[in-house]
Amino acid sequence: MSKDFILPDIGEGIVECEIVEWLVQEGDTIKEDQPVVDVMTDKALVQIPAKEDGVVTKLYYKQGDIAKVHEPLFAVEPADGSGTAETETKQQAKAEDAKAAAASGSEKGADTGSSDSGSTVTDFILPDIGEGIVECEIVEWQVQEGDVVEEDQPVVDVMTDKALVQIPAKDHGVVEKLYYQKGDIAKVHEPLFAIRVAGAEKSAEKGADTTKQVSAPSSSSVSAPSSAVRQGKAIASPAVRRRARELDIDISKVQGSGAKGRVMKEDVQKFADGGAQQAPAGKADTAAQTRGEAKGFVAGGKRTEAIRGVKAAMAKAMMKSVSTIPHFTYADEFDLTAVMALQKQLKERYKDEGVRITMMPFFIKALSLAIKEFPIMNAQVNDDCTELTYFDDHNIGMAVDTKIGLLVPNIKQVQNKSIIDIANEVTRLTNAAREGRVAQEDMKGGTISISNIGVIGGTVATPIINKPEAAIVALGKVQELPRFDANGNVVARKIMTASWSGDHRIIDGGTIARFNKRWQEFLEDPTSMLVHMV
């Protein structure tokens, strides 16, 4: 059975390449690691090797054509003979279908089976879900095996190191196999689940496999496969066959749990470990126990679990920040009595219009106005501290405490936005962050950050800079405290402490003190902001 060779990543940021020269022709026999084609990117000439032994059945591009990364480049029939029973007509039809899929941007995997009604089972390949992201954690499946799904219907929620992402279906069909369980780590550009397309019913599956093997199990038997040994060739991917060879296992003796008896990697591993047939009585839950121990175990009153997703990303980012940036902290008290009174008025005024005005829009806008006078606070230095870049846009980030960890989306071009505009953005980003569904664009390009620890508690902090930014401020809780007025009388004032951390390579103590003083003046006398707004 022919399968598509998917053009892999060939350089950071490269999405396409030009076919310079094919080193093989259709019908040629190729070996694993043999050079197949030379392609030209915008940076260099790259030679693409074969991933397995086999026969080239189709070249999807001609010399001079532009090929897309992560789309089919050529088709190959594996040398293990799993495709020898397929007719030339079917091979040609599949090749044409794959070329059409590549032209339309499809990322479906190779055909893994067909029924008499013309339906096909294809692997859904996990697409790129963010710049630099190569894996993700399965948070929750929205469907089960056997469910009918529609195009664009949400199938699974996955967690990257930046956000929660929902993966939709690309076709109408029936879910044949979920390749991962909740909590597993899935790899980008590898199969996520299998789907039977063309609307065929699972009950219509019968004897479609042209190799000499027993009929595919019914839908009821898929979940409880027979222990009988398979007759003839096994249905399995080259990667699974390679794993079986590494373990010195005859793959024809392995009972497959996939669609139409397809042998999966876990089936091979289970067979290598002794298999369900050889497990002693009372040990049926060993596999489940092992999976539980992989995610976290209980022993002696302790529990260990993996650090993944956003929390893992934050841990790495914070470690890199404190180990490469010389932090220094500056703190001062702000009297927010006047600005909080204004916020209360505007909150009532715009409530009926659906605008939620909190204190954060005032902090953000006043910060932007102060940055205009102290652009160094909105600058970034390169790693070896030889260049300093100033940014015209004030993309101010705000840390949001969420169920998946700390996210810091940023509001773009604050210098051009009104208090109302900022309030709407704060609401949008806060809601998205708490759901774990912040768009990647909202997470990129921040120039300075605010962390509002005061909503939880605490007055003073030492925040860690969100590298490559140069500064971050932590807002403490607002307290009503006694202070002396101009006449020496004791009055109640609303006081907050702002704690700054700055990059001491480019920001000195005097600069951050003067900058903080200007920010303070805008907030303590909010009417002064009016004359400075664009």
- Catalytic (active-site) positions: 504, 508
Q: Which pairs from 104-110 meet CB under 8 Å and 24+ separation? A: 105/68, 105/71, 106/71, 106/170, 107/70, 107/71, 107/170, 108/170, 108/171, 109/4, 109/191, 110/1, 110/2, 110/3, 110/4
What is the Cα Rg of the chain in Å?
30
* Residue 477 burial (CB count, 10 A): 15
Tell me if 160 sits within 8 A of 126, measured CB to CB. Answer: no
Strand ranges across the sheet with 173-178: 108-114, 120-125, 191-197, 173-178, 148-149
What is the CA angle 81-86-91, rounded to 5? 110
| Alpha carbons 413 and 142: distance in angstroms, whole number | 37
| Alpha carbons 376 and 511: distance in angstroms, whole number | 9
Query: Which residue's entry shows tokens 């210098």?
Result: 415
* Residue 207 burial (CB count, 10 A): 11
Which structure tokens are listed for 185? 């780590």
Q: Which amino acid is it at 208?
A: A
Cβ burial 405-434 (10 Å sphere, 16+ → b, else e): bbbbbbbbebbebebebbbbbbbebbebbe
Whole-angstrom distance between the N-terminal and C-terminal Cα of the chain? 66
Tell me if 263 sits within 8 A of 275, measured CB to CB. Answer: no
Strand ranges for 412-486 from DSSP E = 448-451, 471-475, 479-484
Give the single-character DSSP code of 405: E
Tell me if 372 sits within 8 A of 281, measured CB to CB. Answer: no
| Alpha carbons 368 and 353: distance in angstroms, whole number | 25
Burial (CB count <10 Å: 0-12, 13-18, 19+), residue 527: exposed
